[in-house]
Structure 1
Amino acid sequence: MIVPGPAKLLRGLALAALVVAWAWFAHQGSAGAGNPDFSVALATAPVAVLFVILLWRVGNPLGSALGGLAMLGLLAWSWPALRQNIALLYYIQHLGTNLALAALFGHTLFGRHEALVTQFARMAHGGVVSAAQERYSRQVTIAWSIFFLANAAVSSVLFWLAAPAAWSLFANVLSTPLVAAMFVIEHLCRNHFLPPEDRSSVADTIRGYRAAMAARRQNTQARHP
């Protein structure tokens, strides 16, 4: 068992604290108990950061500057409306994230694609997976697709039919623990259904995920230099 160093442990604790703080403030804002301006800023920050990263990758300083100004102008123009619809803003974010993740996993189950978790397993095992690993990893890909679709469905039902606080508790507070629970359940299933030589640790899975994402980025950059 590898014990993480102090720096890595501190980074992990800081990240965990950030996730908990974000969930709590998002819950407060969605339930109508937080500061409206802070809640809007918190909800739009991830999208703004992603947009800035995309602009940075364009490599055109003038285009990046104009795009950044356009983003700021759009935020300023829509800010009053966003302040009046904080719960809806978080709902769209939660729904979009889960549908995007469901699509990320699900689309690899059709056509000539290799199931996404199979790709992770292949990366974690030096490019070679057994027949048992391939069958199991495909089932896990299906499970994650269903999980994210179910999250989106439950979120929608609660948002439109339940009290804002009930929806926010599910979407903002329970989302991360539910994902963690899925990882734990999958780990237990892996140990039950796969022989020891075909099993991989959580660290192996994370390395496989990172390697797969890096390969995807390289392929994308090669197609669109």
Structure 2
Amino acid sequence: MNLKALPRMGRPLLIILALGAWAGLAHYGSAGHGNPDLSAALGVAPLILAAALLWPGRSPGGMLFAAALALGLVGLLWPRLRESVPLLYYIQHLGAHLALGIFFGRTLRAESTPLITQLAQAMSATELSARKLRYTRRVTQVWTGYFLVNALVSTLLFLFAPREIWSFHANILSWPLIASLFLGEHLFRRRILPPEERPGVGEVIQAYLRISRTQRNPASSTPP
């Protein structure tokens, strides 16, 4: 094992461990067990973070204001939140999947460029081939469908299945499902596209970050 790689592996490993711990505690709490205050706090934490990150412009002051506003609202609703922990986690899971489904799906409109196509264009120095344009549009459709279908499955399980089954699906199974979809798309891409049209994971992440920065600050992408 390359010891020099350990520092680089440390941060992703810590993130994975933190997500795993959060998923386990969320499953335990949303199934109706554990301390309701701790379970509710874990449930609202991602919502407060989302409120800050979705603040228009994403200025530090605006993000802090959004987080403070969300915290104030949580404080007002706390008695009800701690008494409705499963519903809180359901709203969180449903909201995240609907938001992601809309985020991907709105780029499939006729006047828009599919999100995966945008990523591919950000990584390519030349014009994308017709084959890759078709492929990236299909992948965008697949991710849109996944998020919307999973939101529907979550709703059906929450309404009609035992709480433990819904909680396992929402808090534990969602991560392996996403990883499986990533892996399946990667394997399918290797069969469909030639090597020069298959980017690595690192390139995809860098392209997404570039697109995010451009969307937050369009002026920064325009040369002086």
TM-score in same-fold range (> 0.5): yes
Q: Distance in 1 between matches of 2:129 and 2:17?
A: 39
Using a 3 Å threshold, how does the CA distance of structure 1 residues 140 and 40 change in structure 2: closer, same or farther? same
* Cα offset, 1:221, TM superposition: 8.8
* Cα offset, 1:89, TM superposition: 0.4
SS in structure 1 of the partner of residue 217 of structure 2: helix
Using a 3 Å threshold, how does the CA distance of structure 1 residues 51 and 101 change in structure 2: closer, same or farther? closer
* Cα offset, 1:52, TM superposition: 4.3
Q: In the alignment, what sits opposite 1:141?
A: 140
**Segment of structure 1 superposing worse, 114-123 or 5-14:** 5-14
Query: Which runs of structure 2 are paired with 1:36-55 in the superposition (5 Å)?
Result: 36-52=36-52, 54=55
Q: Does the CA contact (< 8 Å) of 2:132 and 2:197 recur in 1?
A: yes
What's the % identity of the aligned pairs? 40
Query: Which runs of structure 2 are paired with 1:1-150 in the superposition (5 Å)?
Result: 5-52=5-52, 54=55, 57=59, 59=61, 64=65, 70-126=69-125, 128-150=127-149
Q: Does the CA contact (< 8 Å) of 2:49 and 2:67 recur in 1?
A: no
Using a 3 Å threshold, how does the CA distance of structure 1 residues 195 and 27 change in structure 2: closer, same or farther? same
* Cα offset, 1:76, TM superposition: 2.1
* Cα offset, 1:158, TM superposition: 0.2
Using a 3 Å threshold, how does the CA distance of structure 1 residues 40 and 80 change in structure 2: closer, same or farther? same
Structure 2: gaps (5+ residues): none
CA RMSD of aligned residues (A): 2.5
Letter in 2 for 1:116: L
Q: Does the CA contact (< 8 Å) of 2:101 and 2:147 recur in 1?
A: yes
* Cα offset, 1:112, TM superposition: 1.1
Letter in 2 for 1:37: D
- How many residues align? The count is 218
Using a 3 Å threshold, how does the CA distance of structure 1 residues 6 and 171 change in structure 2: closer, same or farther? same
Structure 1: gaps (5+ residues): none
Deviations 1:23-68 (CA, angstroms, capped at 9, x unpaired): 000000011112100011111112223334549727479x93xx66
Letter in 2 for 1:205: V
Query: Which runs of structure 2 are paired with 1:149-164 in the superposition (5 Å)?
Result: 149-164=148-163
Using a 3 Å threshold, how does the CA distance of structure 1 residues 147 and 3 change in structure 2: closer, same or farther? farther
Normalising by structure 2, what TM-score?
Answer: 0.88
Normalising by structure 1, what TM-score?
Answer: 0.88
Q: Distance in 1 between matches of 2:44 and 2:219?
A: 27
Q: Distance in 2 between matches of 1:115 and 1:74?
A: 36
Q: Distance in 1 between matches of 2:219 and 2:176?
A: 32
SS in structure 2 of the partner of residue 142 of structure 1: helix
Query: Which runs of structure 2 are paired with 1:168-179 in the superposition (5 Å)?
Result: 168-179=167-178
SS in structure 2 of the partner of residue 174 of structure 1: helix
